[in-house]
Structure 1
Amino acid sequence: MIQAQFDRLKNNEIISIEISGHAESGPYGQDVVCAAVSALSIGTINSIIEIAGLSPSIIIDEEEGGYLSMKLPDGQSEKQSHTAQILLESLLLSLKSVQEESPDYIKIKQKNYNNGGAF
């Protein structure tokens, strides 16, 4: 099962995401849930880099796959932050749609940090 976690600050802004696991909803190369989650998450991160102009911290398990972590950088302008939040909320909405269609293969969790964001 794919686990997706969205971490939010006290002001409700998404500061990081972590996606791990494998859907195993079909044979390797034909797993549409995994393909959807991968395309959505990588597309969002690419958009954060290109459209918002940010350089997030990214960790990917390139050997075994099944792991992606992204944390937004400190010191964002208001415009960069606003753009990144739209993109991340869109990712969350899209992943929720995948979860509704395939609830046995993906679980989404949101975690709130009420202390202002210290991880």
Structure 2
Amino acid sequence: MIKASIDHFKNHVSGFKLTGHADAGEYGQDIVCSAVSVLSITTVNGLQEVAGIDLEVDSDDDNGGYLSVSIPVLSDAQKSIKADAILDTFENGMKDIAESYSKYINLKIN
């Protein structure tokens, strides 16, 4: 099971953590794991490339199944607006996945 948590600070997503594997199918065929992976990697790339934010990212690149992202407090209004749009989209996507595949993912919103 994937355990996901999304943290908030002053009504903004301040970070998220993903651990585990969905085990919803064979390796390479697991649509839940694939959906969470694509959404989380796209979110990190968007925050870095589109919003221009330096993030704290910790992952297990060798074994997978672990990603921790911490978003700094942003003083730049334009970066903050972009980050909020990207992170709100991530949160909505994770909620949809968790609702549709609750057997394979546990999502906590803090």
TM exceeding 0.5: yes
Query: Which stretches of structure 1, 4 residues or more, deviate above 2 A after TM superposition?
Result: 73-76
Counterparts of residues 38-117 of structure 1 (less than 5 Å): 38-111=37-110
Q: Given residue 37 of structure 2, which amino acid in structure 1 is its aligned partner? A: S
Q: Is the 8 A contact 1:54 1:76 kept in 2?
A: no
Question: Alignment RMSD, CA only?
Answer: 1.1
What is aligned with 2:30?
31
Instruction: Output the TM-score relative to the length of structure 2.
Output: 0.94
Q: Given residue 32 of structure 2, which amino acid in structure 1 is its aligned partner? A: V
Secondary structure of 2:47's counterpart equals helix
- In structure 1, what is the Cα distance between the partners aligned to 2:107 and 2:36? 11
Change (3 A) 1:20 1:76: farther
Q: Percent identity?
A: 37
- More moved, 17-26 vs 73-82: 73-82
Secondary structure of 2:82's counterpart equals helix
- In structure 2, what is the Cα distance between the partners aligned to 1:36 and 1:76? 32
Query: How far is 1:4 from its partner?
Result: 1.0
Instruction: Output the TM-score relative to the length of structure 1.
Output: 0.87
What is aligned with 1:115?
none
Q: Is the 8 A contact 2:74 2:80 kept in 1?
A: no
**1:62-116 Cα deviation digits (max 9, x unpaired):** 12110001111244411111211111110111111111221100111111xxxxx
